Amino acid sequence: MNRREALNWARRALFAQLNEDASLEGEILLKHVLKIDRTALFSSPDEDMTQAQLNELDKLIARRLEGEPSAYITGHKEFYGLDFVVDKRVLIPRPETEILVENAVSLTRSYKFTYIADIGTGCGCIAVSLSVKLIGACVYAVDVSRDAITVAKQNAARHGVKWINFLYGDLLQPLHEPVDIIVANLPYVKKSDLPVNGFEPVTALDGGEDGLDIIRKLIRQAPAKLNPYGCLLLEIGLGQAEAVELLLQKEYPSAKIQLFPDLAGIPRAAVMRLT
Ligand SMILES: C[S@@+](CC[C@H](N)C(=O)[O-])C[C@H]1O[C@@H](n2cnc3c(N)ncnc32)[C@H](O)[C@@H]1O
């Protein structure tokens, strides 16, 4: 079987469960087995697969069909144009989280030398992306999971970012000084909506009964850890915009609050700016 045939086989095998995603995911698994990029794959489609490669592809397809995300199978996920290593110790970065990064980058224009805290850093995708983009900013990355911090440090090293301060602990408690920007993609899934036998860590998803337990706690803690004219950027889930806006208004009555939608028009980021 050559590479083209193997790709078609993988896509067909995945189609029953993944529908339109089967095409892309079949390609991702085949590139991983062959350890080549897209250009190499499509420039030599007639090259024969070895039996060992076919066996490996077969195993990866079986794992994917059992529900394991491709990013855990390959150990990589692209975020904000950078490649991040991921495994089951951390949440897989999502494209909508780039909305937080974009907003944080544009808000830094208001400060001379920006102090930023990424709360719930996970694999470090937000802290590392900001550090790569904003040379000279002081970035803290906090997580309550030591495993997540280990992965985040690995990603910082991978992208040559040596100046992130990694802190272990609960929300803003480990921060010793106030910052200009707090950016947080914290768990916001309702307990009743948590996936059964999911692959991603529950500590990265579980937001309590209404999904807002951890976000609520962060909003209450933030006044003590934000500089004057500081900003708080939160990723939010479907249907949480109104509740989060109210929580922010209550804690910061004179602040400017804005919501930012994802590509489907759903508000996915809340940005509070002290005036
Ligand atoms: C939804 S994941 C986000 C990970 C990463 N920032 C991203 O955007 O992909 C939430 C992260 O928050 C961490 N976390 C949960 N509760 C926390 C808390 N009380 N304090 C600090 N981090 C917490 C979890 O361990 C997890 O890594």
Query: Tell me: the pLDDT tens digits for 45-65?
Result: 999 999 999 999 999 999 999
163 falls in which pLDDT band (50, 70, 90)? confident
Domains of the chain, first to last: 3-74 (1.10.8.10), 79-273 (3.40.50.150)
Contact (CB, 8 A) for 64 and 175? no
Output the pLDDT for position 109: 87
Residue type, 242: E
Q: Is the CB of 148 under 6 A from ligand 1?
A: yes
Query: Which of these, 267, 266, 171, 175, lies nearest to 227 by C-alpha position?
Result: 175
> What is the maximum span of the chain, computed from C-alpha positions, in angstroms?
66
What distance in Å separates the CA atoms of residue 215 and residue 155, rounded to the nearest whole number? 25
- Residue 41 CA to residue 11 CA, distance in Å, equals 15
Predicted TM-score of the model (pTM): 0.95
Q: Is the pLDDT of residue 20 over 90?
A: no
Please tell me the predicted confidence (pLDDT) of residue 266.
96
**Ligand 1 centroid distance, CA of 119 (Å):** 7
Residue 93 Cβ inside 6 Å of ligand 1? The answer reads yes
DSSP state of 203: G
**Block residue for tokens 């910052």:** 179
- Cβ 183 under 6 angstroms from ligand 1: no
User: Best substitution site from 100, 143, 173, 219 to test ligand 1's pocket, by max atoms within 8 Å of Cβ?
Assistant: 143
Q: Which amino acid is at 248?
A: L
**Given the structure tokens 């066996």, which residue do they identify?**
55
| Residues 6+ positions from 42 with CB-CB distance below 8 Å | none
How far is residue 154's CA from residue 161's CA, in Å, rounded to a whole number? 10
* Calpha distance 254→257 (Å, rounded): 9
N- to C-terminal Cα separation, the chain: 64
* Pocket flag, ligand 1, residue 137 (CB < 6 Å): no
Which residues neighbour 56 within 8 Å (Cβ) at sequence distance 6 or greater? 33
- Alpha-carbon gap, residue 56 to 59, rounded angstroms: 5
- CB-ligand 1 contact for 214 (6 Å cutoff): yes
Q: What is the mean pLDDT of residues 246-275?
A: 96
Average of pLDDT values for 108-124? 93
74-92 mean pLDDT: 97
Q: How many residues does the chain have?
A: 275
Of all residues in the chain, what percent carry a pLDDT higher than 70? 100
CB atoms within 10 A of CB 30: 23
How many CA atoms lie less than 13 Å away from 250 in the CB half-sphere?
9
3 state SS of 204? helix
For residue 168, pLDDT over 90 is answered with yes
Q: How far is CA 1 from CA 14, 46, 51, 85, 125, in A?
A: 18, 9, 9, 31, 38
pLDDT at 161 over 90: yes
Structure tokens belonging to residue 123: 């694999």
Q: Using CA atoms, how far apart are residues 26 and 12, in angstroms rounded to an integer?
A: 8
Residue 205 has pLDDT above 90, yes or no: yes
